[in-house]
């Protein structure tokens, strides 16, 4: 498996054992170029917006997965929104106006940091519709999703106020839906898409994973978890399983300069090492098993593949940022996207008109004396 070249070193192919599983209905280019492939009816396209860890690097944004479905509405779902993930989103040329459905697996900062960007900055980029956010509740309401969403809205008060009278702010509000964290339940059914949440085991009560079903295809996302039976039961026989996978503790300790004891705790108590992921993959038997939330660093990839291969021989992918999966009845195709690094926000349809509310603020008195009248000076 070490023949793979990761994207940060110029590799253009996904880190996968099987770029094509099954028989694709369409010929697809080796590399996915955003904007060149319309979704087909019955297709789910999954793009990794963030494959990395809390300490964001240029090569890996923090956790986030984009799910696009080929229904008439071309619905778009974001599963987690870690730091840096929206930079990758822009490159995929998916309209910012479609970012209305956010599903958070849990409230660790590496899974939610770009939610602030979505609610503040992306309104300035032309996002007009309110956002709906799903995520786990908690035994303690202060730790639940509703409190998080309300707190971010409060934290963005200055940002929102600054837009008054100059920018349409209809997209700056969110509705939070807390999902059960102790049982599996269908939480979303619209436009031919069903989403089911299931509880997972990750440090505190409140962490969940999601299963997306559309037109007979299914994608399951673990969020952060130890190997968990609730996930296996919700995921069995799915087409694409995106399961968190950490480096083995010894490798993790070496790369992160952590004491081994601390690495063993982090990896084994809160997460899933590759040999344990192999067991989950074997129980679920997805068409494609994807390891996600793992360092992709040259010299540290072999232990990941060796670990998973010790117990699982099916198709497997190590997710990088911008790994793209096309899931159709005939096949799962796994590629890397090639994006423009300067792609600006793409605008699509909205349910709201662009309407500016309120009057701009009067300028504070001291600005009159402090303002440099550069236009007069240049005239
Ligand atoms: Zn976490
Ligand atoms: Zn995490």
Percent of the chain whose predicted confidence (pLDDT) is above 70: 99
CA of 375 to the centre of ligand 1 (A): 51
Give the C-alpha separation, 230 to 184, whole Å.
8
Interval between CA 353 and ligand 2 midpoint (Å)? 37
In terms of DSSP bridges, do strands 240-244 and 288-292 run parallel, antiparallel, or are they unpaired?
Answer: parallel
For residue 352, the 8-state DSSP code is: S
Q: In the chain, where are the structural domains located?
A: 7-378
For ligand 2, the distance from its centroid to the CA atom of residue 195, given in whole angstroms, is: 21
Q: Over the stretch 199-211, which tens digit does the pLDDT of each residue have? A: 999 999 999 999 9
Q: Give residue 171 CA to ligand 2 midpoint distance, Å.
A: 27
Q: Which residues surround ligand 1, an ion (CB under 5 A)?
A: 108, 224
Ligand nearest to the CA of 107: 1
68 closest CA partner among 105, 36, 101: 101
Query: Any idea which fold 7-378 has?
Result: Metallo-beta-lactamase; Chain A (3.60.15)
**E strands, 86-173, in order:** 101-103, 131-136
**Chain segment 100-121, per-residue pLDDT in tens:** 999 999 999 999 999 999 999 9
Stretch among 109-118, 189-198, 251-260, 356-365 having the lowest mean pLDDT:
356-365
Pairwise CA distance, residues 284 & 122, whole Å:
37
In the predicted model, what is the mean pLDDT of residues 153-171? Answer: 95
Closest CA relative to residue 17, chosen from 316, 302, 313: 316
Q: Which residues of 60-70 are buried (b: 16+ CB within 10 A; e: fewer)?
A: bbbbbbbbbbb
Contact (CB, 8 A) for 196 and 210: yes
Tens of pLDDT along 292-346?
A: 999 999 999 999 999 999 999 999 999 999 999 999 999 999 999 999 999 999 9
Q: Which one of the ligands is nearest to 270 CA?
A: 1
Ligand 1: centre distance to CA 218 (Å): 23
DSSP lists the bridge partners of residue 219 as 212, 240
- pLDDT reading at 61 higher than 80: yes
- Secondary structure (DSSP) of 181-230: SSS-EEEEEETTEEEEEEE--BSBTT-EEEEEEETTEEEEE--S-SS-HH
Q: How far is the CA of 106 from the centre of ligand 1 (A)?
A: 7
- Paired with 134 in beta bridges are 103, 177
Closest ligand, as measured to the CA of 207: 1
Tokens of 308: 């998973």
* Centroid of ligand 2 to alpha carbon of 146 (angstroms): 20
- Report the separation in Å between the CA atom of 364 and the middle of ligand 2, taken as the mean of its atom positions: 43
Tell me how far the alpha carbon of residue 175 lies from the centroid of ligand 2, in angstroms: 24
Q: What's the rounded Cα separation, in Å, for the pair 50 and 33?
A: 18
Handedness of CA 367, 371, 373, 374 (dihedral sign): negative
């Amino acid at each position: 498996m070490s023949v793979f070249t990761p994207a940060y070193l110029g590799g253009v192919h996904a880190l996968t054992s099987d770029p094509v599983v099954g028989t694709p209905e369409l010929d697809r280019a080796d590399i996915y170029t955003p904007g060149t492939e319309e979704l087909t009816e019955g297709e789910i396209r999954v793009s990794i917006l963030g494959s990395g860890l809390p300490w964001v690097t240029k090569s890996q944004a923090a956790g986030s997965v984009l799910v696009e479905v080929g229904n008439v509405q071309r619905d778009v779902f974001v599963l987690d929104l870690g730091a840096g993930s929206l930079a990758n989103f822009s490159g995929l040329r998916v309209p910012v106006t479609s970012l209305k459905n956010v599903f958070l697996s849990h409230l660790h900062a590496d899974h939610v940091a770009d939610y602030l960007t979505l609610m503040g900055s992306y309104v300035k980029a032309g996002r007009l519709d309110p956002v709906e956010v799903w995520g786990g509740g908690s035994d303690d309401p202060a730790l639940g999703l509703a409190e998080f969403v309300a707190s971010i809205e409060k934290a963005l008060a200055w940002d929102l106020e600054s837009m008054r009278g100059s920018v349409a702010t209809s997209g700056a509000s969110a509705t939070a839906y807390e999902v059960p964290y102790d049982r599996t339940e269908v939480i979303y059914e619209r436009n031919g898409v069903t989403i089911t949440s299931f509880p997972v085991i990750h440090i505190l009560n409140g962490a969940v994973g999601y299963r997306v079903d559309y037109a007979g295809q299914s994608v399951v996302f673990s969020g952060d978890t130890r190997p968990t039976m609730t996930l296996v039961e919700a995921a069995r026989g799915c087409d694409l399983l995106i399961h968190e996978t950490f480096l083995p503790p010894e490798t993790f300790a070496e790369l992160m300069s952590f004491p081994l004891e601390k690495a063993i705790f982090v990896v084994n108590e809160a997460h899933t090492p590759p040999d344990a992921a192999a067991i989950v993959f074997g129980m679920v038997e997805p068409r494609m098993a994807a390891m996600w939330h793992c360092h992709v660093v040259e010299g540290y990839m072999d232990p990941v593949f060796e670990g998973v291969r010790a117990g699982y021989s099916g198709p497997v992918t190590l997710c990088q940022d911008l790994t793209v999966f096309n899931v159709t009845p005939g096949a799962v195709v796994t590629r890397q996207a090639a994006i423009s690094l300067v792609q600006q926000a793409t605008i699509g349809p909205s349910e709201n008109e662009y309407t500016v509310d309120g009057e701009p603020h009067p300028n504070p008195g001291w600005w009159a004396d402090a303002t440099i009248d550069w236009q007069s000076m240049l005239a």
